[in-house]
Structure 1
Amino acid sequence: MRSIVIVGYGMAGARLAEEIRGRDTENTGVTVLGAEPHHAYNRILLSSVVGGGMTPEMVRLHDAGWAGKHGVDLRLSTTAAGIDRVARKVTLTDGSTVDYDALVLATGSRPWVPPCEGLLVDGVLAPGAVAFRTLDDCARILAASRPGAPVAVVGGGLLGLEAARGLAGRGNLVTVVHPVGHLLERQLDRGAGQVLAARLATLGIEVRLGVRAARYVPGDGLKLDDGSHVPADLVVVSAGVIPETTLARDAGLTTDRGIVVDDSLRTSDFRVHAIGDCAQHPGTVSGLVQPAWEQAAVLADLLTGARPAARYRGTPVVTRLKAKDVDLAALGEVHTEVDSPDAEVLCLTDPARGRYAKLVLRDDRVTGAIVLGVPDAAATITQLYDRGIPAPSDRIALLLGRALPPGATVAHSPADLPAATTVCRCNTVSKSQLVKAWRGGARGVAGLATATKATTGCGSCRDTVSAIADWLASSEEGTS
């Protein structure tokens, strides 16, 4: 029996184990090493745990019996200490070893802590400062934050803003400290960042831009590099992540920002692969679930021989901010200027209502967009981007969410959605697949999620899946 060892039991490693077992249950032994004590959970939904909208149990990807049921040797609270590539063994921190025929590194990433006096003590975050990365981090944040207490969030990226929104929803007085001149600078242009900051202000979140945390005093807060002070009983650090490459680098594998992989997701050793946040592929944006899960599907095809010609060519991603009362999607060429000579760029700004829409087109195809506060437009533009079909000629209607792709109808209800519409981008689940799963016996959102994995990624499709489930249920009642 061929032995596959997966180092990492996060979203990428857990999905790979599922994908392998879905293709091969007899000829492949699967061992998964998880550093955390928990069974796999959806890291993307942690902001909902902080905000109180979900419990830790609700974000679990696997229950306690999953590994036994699927013949997976799952070892929790287990850390790999080294790789012997000649003997093909992984050494664990307790001194034991695990043999492999194929090794997959799904080691993810670790929080980056910006230089700030007093924030780190002997390499560990000082009392009153917590990173925002794991389920245990959520527990620490909730234990340290009480309603009405001031909280500072260091970092105005996706995770930082999601943490800020969750804490503000619990009644904390939240201030976001971000060193760049606008929020989400990787995903948004300056105009969108400004509108987003204004929108967050209406939700009780103060934003301090273009300043850095210079000194941290536990129980007092942060002194910023402009001399000002942010009071904080709790400081949440969410300033970015660093791909976890230590194991690979110590084993002599080629690393750069991450572990360098090719289209077969192989490292510089053909028996060792890498996927997820730790992997560096030219077509991948790190920190998002969709690329990791697409990589898991390709690698499972290769490792089991189900599709030997499978290759990972990259993922055109749509970034969404998972924060209550903030509807934001960004995709493709977000930084193309309005006066670009080789692209058609339209932009509408309505800061008073928290709306911003930017559209970038080339040869009538959507190649980039930022859509804030206009969910109907976001859904339509994402469809156009995914399918690569010409955009409607009425661009203003498109930006306002009043235009649909050619041949589509106004989707006021799930019945109006075309069958080919992608409902869950993270798992590439279409409306027709949901309908097929329903007809096969899946019921409710939970049943459809189990059958198709829809809603188990970023969670932004949950409302649509719920509406489709309600529509299918009412359709059955109407014919009974």
Structure 2
Amino acid sequence: MTSKTRVVVIGAGLAGVRLAQRLGELGVAATLVGEEEHRPYNRVLLAEVLAGRYSPDVIALPAPAGLVRARVTGIDRAERTVRCADGTEIVYDTLVLATGSNSVLPPLRGLFTPDHELPDGVHAFRTLDDCLGLSKAVRPGVKAVVIGGGLLGVSAARALAVRGAQVVLAQQAERLMERQLDPNASALVHRHLTGLGVEVHTECRVRDVRCVGGAVRSVEMADGFALDAELVVLACGVHPRVGLAKDAGLAVHKGVLVDDQLRTSDPRVHALGDCAQHDGNLYGLAAPALEQADVLAEVIAGKGTARYTGTRSLTRLTLAGLDLAAFGETVALPGDDVVQLADATRGTYRKVVVRDDRLVGGVLVGELGTVGALARAWEGAEPLPTNGGPLLHLLTHDGGS
């Protein structure tokens, strides 16, 4: 690839910024197009901003030199141009979609105003603007309902409680963070939230959002029970932003389909991060996005034969008073071996699942000193020694991170 090749990256989130940085290190200039008015930032840390622990400046990412603030409205693959809302066009030789994902807005009655806007007091929790809007609205004693008990909902509920809100968390599944945690670990998270004053309801489906004068007043459950609410936070998951790709005629399933070089169905267009679907997988996590960016930088720069073969992702949540990590399969299948260590007094829990002498998953709550060694053993997928001693050492040795 020559230095005159025009590389355009749509999306100035974690994946796009990392890609632009890596390309710069490899001598390839890139134009990064981001639609948010803020400096690029680390979305993973938004809950810490909401909790008041960090200012927005702390989570800011280094702004690449070639950053253009604009909203992309279309891609012309025949002319190799990107159209922006302000009427400008950007020419590319290589295009990268790093468009990320949007919050899932559940199909609730009353969720939108006649102008198709969220009512006053109802907030998604995906962008820095969402976070700043929530921070402005929260105050001691305000009645807040968080809809969704996954990683994002738990983080939001905790942050609001720390700020003094009266928080109710409504989770449709039978336990919190059911995709990452086993029942024991989920129970510890539940206990942590209740200790902060959060009222947690599981197996609880929200049916209706009630508003008066364009502002939220209550949330109604499927069983008819109503919760008073001055703030409602929608933490119901995310879905990939694939509109640009679809309109441009690229192959899309749940995400933009990519191969091992992160190429879409058009070899001049790549995709990575939350919007990309590789080998059937949509990750929606920071670690795979960063790994994809590193691989794609080498692909675009023509360095070697870089390939992306997937990421074995570890979910980690570190908040004051609540540290947890989960990887692989945290719920054992028949025939699996399970090793667990629990300390109810200290609120710690460690568990690993072993199948055919290989570590296939684990979950830790509380002290995370062993997570590094366990994650490396899992990622390596090597057979474990048969006497069990080294595995117990991995669970108890706190120098492994």
TM normalised by structure 2 equals: 0.92
Q: What is the aligned partner in structure 2 of residue 336 from structure 1?
A: 332
Q: Deviations over 1:235-267 (max 9, x none)?
A: 111110010000000111010110010100000
**Residue type of the alignment partner of 1:55:** S
**Residue type of the alignment partner of 1:134:** T
Q: Does 1:151 align with 2:148?
A: no
Q: Does 1:52 align with 2:46?
A: no
Question: Is 1:165–1:324's contact at 8 Å kept on the other side of the alignment?
Answer: no
Matches within 5 A, 1:348-387: 348=341, 353-387=346-380
Using a 3 Å threshold, how does the CA distance of structure 1 residues 254 and 17 change in structure 2: closer, same or farther? Answer: same
Matches within 5 A, 1:62-81: 62-63=62-63, 66-67=64-65, 72=66, 74-76=67-69, 78-81=70-73
CA apart distance, 1:388 = 4.2
CA apart distance, 1:352 = 6.1
CA apart distance, 1:199 = 2.4
Residue number among 92, 100, 110 corresponding to 1:118 in the alignment: 110
Q: Does 1:209 align with 2:197?
A: no
Q: In structure 2, what is the Cα distance between the partners aligned to 1:387 and 1:262?
A: 23
Using a 3 Å threshold, how does the CA distance of structure 1 residues 124 and 286 change in structure 2: closer, same or farther? Answer: farther
Q: What is the aligned partner in structure 1 of residue 261 from structure 2?
A: 264
Q: Deviations over 1:264-298 (max 9, x none)?
A: 00000100000000000127552211100110111
Question: Is 1:284–1:315's contact at 8 Å kept on the other side of the alignment?
Answer: no
Q: What is the aligned partner in structure 2 of residue 22 from structure 1?
A: 25
SS in 1 for 2:363: strand
Q: In structure 2, what is the Cα distance between the partners aligned to 1:365 and 1:29?
A: 43
**Residue type of the alignment partner of 1:282:** D
Question: Is 2:81–2:91's contact at 8 Å kept on the other side of the alignment?
Answer: yes
Q: What is the aligned partner in structure 2 of residue 446 from structure 1?
A: none
Of residues 255-264 and 198-207 in structure 1, the stretch that sits farther from structure 2 once superposed is 198-207
Question: Is 1:330–1:369's contact at 8 Å kept on the other side of the alignment?
Answer: yes
Q: In structure 2, what is the Cα distance between the partners aligned to 1:149 and 1:46?
A: 20
Q: In structure 2, what is the Cα distance between the partners aligned to 1:284 and 1:154?
A: 26
Q: Does 1:394 align with 2:389?
A: yes
Question: Is 2:209–2:216's contact at 8 Å kept on the other side of the alignment?
Answer: no
Q: Deviations over 1:200-256 (max 9, x none)?
A: 211222211111221112342211112222222111111100100000001110101
Number of residues paired by the alignment? 391
Matches within 5 A, 1:291-330: 291-307=288-304, 309-330=305-326
CA apart distance, 1:371 = 1.2
Where does structure 2 lack aligned partners over 5 or more consecutive residues? none
SS in 1 for 2:291: helix
CA apart distance, 1:84 = 1.0
Question: Is 1:161–1:323's contact at 8 Å kept on the other side of the alignment?
Answer: no
Q: In structure 1, what is the Cα distance between the partners aligned to 2:9 and 2:128?
A: 21
Please identify which structure carries the higher helix content: 1
CA apart distance, 1:320 = 1.1
Q: In structure 1, what is the Cα distance between the partners aligned to 2:46 and 2:219?
A: 25
Question: Is 1:198–1:354's contact at 8 Å kept on the other side of the alignment?
Answer: no
What do you get for the CA RMSD once the two structures are aligned? 2.0
Q: In structure 2, what is the Cα distance between the partners aligned to 1:192 and 1:243?
A: 28
Q: What is the aligned partner in structure 1 of residue 339 from structure 2?
A: 346
Q: In structure 1, what is the Cα distance between the partners aligned to 2:344 and 2:221?
A: 28
Using a 3 Å threshold, how does the CA distance of structure 1 residues 152 and 132 change in structure 2: closer, same or farther? Answer: same
Q: Deviations over 1:336-380 (max 9, x none)?
A: 23xx22x32234555565333321113433210111124234344
Q: What is the aligned partner in structure 1 of residue 32 from structure 2?
A: 32
Runs of 4+ in 1 over 4 A off after TM superposition: 348-353, 395-399
Q: In structure 1, what is the Cα distance between the partners aligned to 2:86 and 2:16?
A: 21
Question: Is 1:283–1:314's contact at 8 Å kept on the other side of the alignment?
Answer: no
SS in 2 for 1:222: strand
Q: What is the aligned partner in structure 2 of residue 129 from structure 1?
A: 122
SS in 2 for 1:295: helix
CA apart distance, 1:158 = 0.9
By relative contact order (CA 8 Å, sep 6+), the higher-ranking structure is: 2
Q: What is the aligned partner in structure 1 of residue 249 from structure 2?
A: 252
Q: In structure 2, what is the Cα distance between the partners aligned to 1:398 and 1:153?
A: 39
Q: Deviations over 1:114-158 (max 9, x none)?
A: 111112224321111011111111110011110121211111111
SS in 2 for 1:321: strand
* Paired-residue identity, %: 41
Q: In structure 2, what is the Cα distance between the partners aligned to 1:173 and 1:304?
A: 52
Q: In structure 2, what is the Cα distance between the partners aligned to 1:353 and 1:178?
A: 26
Q: What is the aligned partner in structure 1 of residue 287 from structure 2?
A: 290
Q: In structure 1, what is the Cα distance between the partners aligned to 2:393 and 2:178?
A: 24
Q: Deviations over 1:310-349 (max 9, x none)?
A: 0000111110123321111110112323xx22x3223455
Q: What is the aligned partner in structure 2 of residue 4 from structure 1?
A: 7
Using a 3 Å threshold, how does the CA distance of structure 1 residues 398 and 178 change in structure 2: closer, same or farther? Answer: farther
SS in 2 for 1:194: helix
Q: In structure 2, what is the Cα distance between the partners aligned to 1:267 and 1:297?
A: 17
Q: In structure 2, what is the Cα distance between the partners aligned to 1:271 and 1:333?
A: 36
Using a 3 Å threshold, how does the CA distance of structure 1 residues 206 and 395 change in structure 2: closer, same or farther? Answer: farther
Q: In structure 2, what is the Cα distance between the partners aligned to 1:167 and 1:212?
A: 21
TM normalised by structure 1 equals: 0.77
